[in-house]
Amino acid sequence: MTSKRLSRATLADANAIRPAYDLDKVELGVAHIGPGAFHRAHQAWYFDQLLARDPRWGISAIAPRSRDVRDALAPQDGLYVLAELDAQISYRVIGSLRELHVASEDLDATLVRLTDPTTKLVTMTVTEKGYCLDGKGELDLNHATIQHDLANPASPQSIAGILTLALAQRRADKSKPFTVLSCDNLADNGAKLKRAVIRFAETRDGDLARWIGDNVRFPATMVDSITPATTDALRQQVEAATGVYDAWPIQRESFVQWVIEDTLGPDAPDLASVGVILTKDVAAWDRAKLRLLNAAHSTLAYTGWLVGHETVADVMTDPKLVSFVRGMLLDDVAPSLTPPAGLSLADYVEMVLTRFRNPAIRHELQQIAWDGSQKLPVRILGTLRDARLHGRSIDRLAVPLGAWMRFVMQRAKSGEKITDPLAEQLQAIGQACNGEAEHDVPRFLAIESMFPRDLANDPSVRIAIERAYTRA
Ligand code: CS2
């Protein structure tokens, strides 16, 4: 590092767009659980815009376990650079993160924040696996983290456990509950989280569970912005452009979208004023995004990786793969969707493919390929079930599944790490594979937490995946 490090003391030296508000006047109205790259690229950017109009909506960032974000950003007074990389490149210092906690290290401070009546909104990005749900989308009471929390409800580690503890305290204090916003790529994320929290609360106290059911809002959301992981190359690029060193800058494309169910309640921030879409119909948006954009991402990640591509932009130079994915989206996925009012699905597909071509960012296929056991059910299996129900072809929809199985098999055989909450099970299955579809595919389909039984036991589904696996 040759430049001065970004902090409040050096902020004026940063050659970047700087917060358009007085950092000293910011109040903490939001607690965010999981301040990873996506949060800092997305919700923190929206609140940064909002703070220029209303100082009540600063963010207290709570990492469930990892110290990395706190350790990188505390010396920088919570400031970091967001690089928007597209045809035009811009650098912006985000000032909305005003407090940083690590829940596993300091649960008391975390709870003080969550139970403070000024905390009106609790948002979260903890990825699909952070919800500890079973294959049916309900809280998995046998999950190791949930088991821990059931035995130790006063020192929880799970989202359901932490929210239940904080809400119990707010109820005891007779203060209004906060609103909870799940910002992860799950269909019906708000309703799923609400059921999970109520289920957890029921194990402690039926009255508390009913009070949560009656009083706490969990609006559904759809979040979108392509955010590749931070690399050293980005650190250098940001330092060269801004003249200050940032230990953890964030990069994303310039496209950003946040759709929230219009049930935020009277004490909510005016997010519409900064471009958030508030609607009664989030489901139409989240289905379209998960089944088109995220499904295309996963499909390209596995098929592209198998033929040796490294990034999404690389795969987009492969006409065969692009034409495959376009056909799958338009002919096999779009018929399962009801488009949100005013949106043409064909235009949406083209826009997604254009975004994937963005040459200014290197979005590694591996980053998308991780956690396949959590992502594929949300991205592909719902469409597959609809297609079976309506007698449409599932041949192309089986391709990402067959390619994922082959990806797992190859990683397991070569001894490379598999990053997935089911890594151990996948490693074992992958090693037992012999490359023959009829031998290997049923072993994957036997994973009950991933494949609902009706699909796994459907011979047409198995045969379509076997065919895809053979060709992958
Ligand atoms: C990607 C998403 O890593 C992945 O699995 O598909 O992170 C994707 O980039 C975002 O959902 C875009 O909003």
What is d(CA 170, CA 111) in angstroms, rounded to the nearest whole number?
10
Q: How far is the CA of 232 from the centre of ligand 1 (A)?
A: 21
Cβ of 294 below 6 Å from ligand 1: yes
C-alpha distances out from residue 365 to 288, 307, 369, 434, Å = 21, 12, 6, 25
Please name the residue that has the structure tokens 């299996």: 381
Q: Give the tens place of pLDDT for each residue, 18-62.
A: 999 999 999 999 999 999 999 999 999 999 999 999 999 999 999
pLDDT higher than threshold 90 for residue 136: no
Asked if the model's pLDDT at residue 237 lies above 70, the reply is yes
**Ligand 1 center–CA 19 separation, angstroms:** 27
pLDDT at residue number 248: 98
* Token pair recorded at residue 99: 């407090």
Name the phi and psi angles at 298, rounded to 5. Answer: -65, -40
| pLDDT score of 77 | 98
What is the reported pTM? 0.96
Residue 319, pLDDT > 70, answer yes
The per-residue pLDDT for range 395-449, each reduced to its tens digit, is 999 999 999 999 999 999 999 999 999 999 999 999 999 999 999 999 999 999 9
Beta bridge partners of 83: 91, 251
Q: Determine contact, residues 261/219, Cβ cutoff 8 Å.
A: yes
Ligand 1 touching residue 226 (CB < 6 A):
yes
Contact 198, 139 (CB under 8 A): no
pLDDT of residue 135: 83
Average pLDDT, whole number, for the chain?
A: 97
Query: Which own/partner pairs from 274-280 qualify as long-range (CB within 8 Å, at least 24 positions apart)?
Result: 274/46, 274/49, 274/50, 274/53, 275/46, 275/49, 276/46, 279/340
Res. 2 pLDDT band, cuts 50 70 90: confident
- How large a percentage of the chain has pLDDT more than 70? 100
Cβ neighbour number for residue 410 with a 10 Å cutoff: 16
Ligand 1 binding pocket mutation candidate from 225, 258, 293, 373 (most atoms within 8 A of CB): 293
Could you report the per-residue pLDDT of 62-71, keeping only the tens digit for each?
Answer: 999 999 999 9
Instruction: Name the closest-CA residue to atom 13, ligand 1.
Output: 224
Structural element, H or E, at residue 147: helix 144-151
- What is the ipTM, given to two decimal places? 0.99
Return d(Cα 459, Cα 59) in angstroms, integer: 50
Is a pLDDT exceeding 90 seen at residue 98? yes
Which of 179, 386, 154 minimizes the C-alpha distance to 291? Answer: 386
Q: Is the CB of 185 under 6 A from ligand 1?
A: yes
211 vs 134, 169, 216, 234, CA distance in Å? 24, 12, 8, 47
Distances (CA, A) of 447 to 97, 156, 387, 438: 40, 28, 22, 16
Ligand 1 pocket: which of 38, 305, 368, 370 to mutate (most atoms <8 Å of CB)?
A: 368
Does pLDDT of 1 surpass 80? no
Each residue of 350-371: pLDDT tens digit?
999 999 999 999 999 999 999 9
**Averaged over 158-170, what is the pLDDT?**
98
SS3 196: helix
The alpha carbon of 205 is separated from its chain's Cα centroid by a whole number of angstroms, namely 30
Q: What's the average model confidence in pLDDT over 181-208?
A: 97
Q: What are phi and psi of 291, to 5 degrees?
A: -85, -20
Is the pLDDT confidence value at 330 over 70? yes
